Amino acid sequence: MTPRSAPDRLLAVLAAFDHGHPALSLTDISRRAGLTLTTAHRLVGALTDWGALERDEDGVYHVGLRLWELAALAPRALALRQIALPYLEDLYEATHENVQLAVRDGCEVVYIEWISGRSAVGVHIRVGARWPLHATGVGLALLAHGEPALQDAYCERPLASFTPHTITDPARLRRVLAEVRRTGVAVSTRQITDDALSVAAPVHGPGGAVPAAVSVVVPERDAQVPALIPAVRLAARGISRALGWQPAREA
């Protein structure tokens, strides 16, 4: 699977880095990118000169500050996050639990913000992390408000399982999605880990789109779901309004 074109080879060097591999030697990079050591050396040099990669004193490469600056321009990540952050902070102040903002990319959610108190439950979620839509509160909120074609296609895929509680039955997933649309909130219970629960609500943009979802993740055993729902919904509505959404009519 040697990448052929020059752009593909350079992007393969960047793609060698992921959450499991945030620090790589030149040899690691050449192997993971499927490039000769000579080619990898040349491309890594160009990326390091530019600032996309940084080399530490041990000769190990990391993602560089310049990519962070560039990523700060992504409208679906930092720009959205910048608008949302005050509301996420309010939600954090109100609950003192883990607070997340996520967007959909294909069949997965990507967490673009994650506020965690030092005392909040440890969860296996990080900024930049991905999970399948059906297994998380934010994913259910985004899928429930996605195009019908997306929902159909998603329900035909195998549904990955992480705990005995993960939704793996397409018919059950469809019922859950209908419930999310009806109530305006998604509750995902023990789907990713056996001890956590998330409450999520969709963020509406102008013109009916749902560009993001907000959630709170709490320990399942003492979760006060009814108390969390209004806080999460309020935060989501605050962000929606800041994005230019106007509610059609209130019940």
Q: Which residues bind a copy of itself (CB under 8 A)?
A: 5-8, 10-11, 14-15, 17-19, 22-23, 42-43, 46-47, 50-52, 54, 62-65, 67-79, 82, 85-86, 89, 92-93, 103, 105, 110, 112, 115-118, 126-128, 130
**In the complex, minimum distance from the CB of residue 62 to a copy of itself, in angstroms, rounded to a whole number:** 5
CA–CA distance, 132 with 191 (Å, rounded to integer): 11
207 vs 226 by CB, closer to a copy of itself = 207
Amino acid at 169: D
Closest of 194, 195, 151 to residue 173, by C-alpha? 151
Residue whose structure tokens are 């956590």:
196
Closest approach, Cβ 179 to a copy of itself, in A, equals: 28
Residue (115 or 155) nearer to a copy of itself, CB: 115
Least distance (Å) between residue 75 CB and a copy of itself: 5
- Closest to a copy of itself by CB, 19 vs 182, is 19
Least Å from the CB of residue 112 to a copy of itself: 7
Spatial CA neighbour of 60 closest among 35, 37, 31, 28: 28
The contacts of residue 17 (CB under 8 Å, 6+ apart) are 24, 62, 63
Decide whether 96 or 172 has the Cβ nearer to a copy of itself. Answer: 96
Cα–Cα distances in angstroms (integers) from residue 129 to residues 108, 125, 238, in the given order = 10, 6, 24
For residue 217, give the nearest of 118, 124, 81, 80 by alpha carbon.
124
Burial class (CB in 10 A: 0-12, 13-18, 19+), 34: middle
Strands 98-105 and 130-132: unpaired
Among residues 199, 241, 205, 242, the alpha carbon closest in space to that of 97 is found at 199
Specify the residue, 11 or 155, whose C-beta has the smaller distance to a copy of itself.
Answer: 11
CB nearer to a copy of itself: pick between 10 and 141: 10
Minimum distance, C-beta of residue 107 to a copy of itself, in the bound complex (Å): 14
Burial class (CB in 10 A: 0-12, 13-18, 19+), 109: buried
Pick 67 or 155: Cβ nearer a copy of itself = 67
C-beta of 162: minimal distance to a copy of itself in Å? 20
Kindly state the smallest distance separating residue 245's Cβ from a copy of itself, in Å: 17
